[in-house]
Structure 1
């Protein structure tokens, strides 16, 4: 059995999920071909030991240097991508060649496969294998509500209905969400699944991590992850200053801020560091919030103009008793709010230090994460349709292979 996984490179969480799924499915004899949308994304996957192809670099979501989404630029990019023959239509032809012989193709998450629909539907946009959409619950809400408050209500409702209809043509849908039970919510008749977020399992104990990082007895460790859209050096300085003032040893990972002394571009074992930390600092994406909850680490969320991440924080505030709830403390800092950023960060870090348990006092999350991995493996391996796929075709990329791999990458 072989599947194709198209992971948009705009957020590293899509890529990490694809990598983890590839590794988990290999254990049950399922091969996964990874495809992404930028050379940086391919380099990220290569550093994890996961080969991939770049479909093209024509589609992307636009952000500023503090991860605020540029909606008009993004919408213009998507429109050009869809209507320009050398972009979207050409990518669909290349993806169709890759998908020949695959049991299904995962969309995580790219507009091209919303238009492609399911095998046997969509006319010229049909693919030779079924489509399975994988997306976050709050990401989908943001997609549906993209025009909310920015255009007439009739247009807003019509757009939401359209994208839902396109999504529901697919063979199946996996929605990852924080309030799913550990075993997932499954509706096989509609091929719809709600699962907890897929995150990396720590491979080292908290004591081992802290010893390797030189975090002595009585010191606190802060694990900081900023995705590549964060590129403002003033933010790196403010974080380093605030955390050092509260006595934290800072282990920072940020591709866009790697020149700052507290940051490195990648860390393949960042999940280990997050599980061993006294504080996790990040924008509240699915991966970061998932780690904060499952690892029970106090979480300082950096808020920007990123709609689905704000929904993630609202969930943290309103649903502390769900199965994945950890009781871990969290606080938020609005990056665009008035007032000295370093001071506001320090106040939030101090509040969490007073409320959160020390890392060495927390139980290991290994069993919980392993159980979630098992659910994802079971669902993904069981989604192949009963009709055998066609003979496989070789996919030839017009991009040169990237043979270079770094030693570290963030999961």
Structure 2
């Protein structure tokens, strides 16, 4: 095993400082204005106002002017060439402000989809879809989860793709199609069943690149997250009815859907976890400030009840999760995908769980204000609770960790 260096490198340290300044002093005020203008039409679809479009373009233009763009492109000829460990420090800063990731073209699901197109796409895919995604001109969605099957076991997926001459015909429904509600969403990466008795259980599905404006595609509804439609991102319930796409929309080959999805989901999962660390740090900052600003029963809130212990435990949990996140990132940099997978699963369980706990404690310190629109805490809680389902629920990841642990003690298949 190679030596493990989890510290902030000389290369990334000054970059983190630049990102921190840009995120907190430039993006954050514009983020507040953008959110105040959010609204949806009667069909649940979102459209940008002239001012919101201006805000988005202003943030992106400033990011590019400052050279803060596409950091997520680790192990690539493009971007900064950061290691996954180095990117972990960048992503933690992005987690402090909701729109920071998009401002610097580092937001999901685009990052994962761009990785798919870069690794597995044809030259035509790269020119038509990857290039404008890298430039931040369009957005994308990842369509995997289905309403009628337990999609945490992706072998259950039934969405159909049938070859017909030089085309594929798509039929079925997907939901929790994150990003499909954005009016700039122009392309999907989609998992479909392409069964064959000659292939194994995990080779019954294929991955496709699909034009979001294909005939026969329709949005049925936005999925509500704790009663909110999460505009403008949008997690849409969609239907495909005899949607025809070119034969070369297939990625790699028939039956390679799981191969592509695992190549995509690993980096995406850990990017979410990195941002969760930033969310937890922000929540703890809000908690501490509030606990010293307000008094009750003749004392500052910090000195009442168990709040000393709560603050100390929050710091301990953040530091533990950060170290696990960095080790998972190091594993991705130095190990095979198979060997790194348990580390990714561990942090995928722990990071949002830890962040949720600290956000909840911050909400308690704020009282009723903590669940209102007057702090970012309610939105943060919603996002982190949702993350415990995204890219695989906790139970699936715990199963993977336990299976790896038990293999050292038994000859049984686990």
Into which bin does the TM-score normalised by the smaller protein fall?
under 0.3
Query: Greater share of helix residues, 1 or 2?
Result: 2
Output the TM-score relative to the length of structure 1.
0.27
Question: Which is bigger in relative contact order (C-alpha 8 A, separation at least 6)?
Answer: 1
Output the TM-score relative to the length of structure 2.
0.27
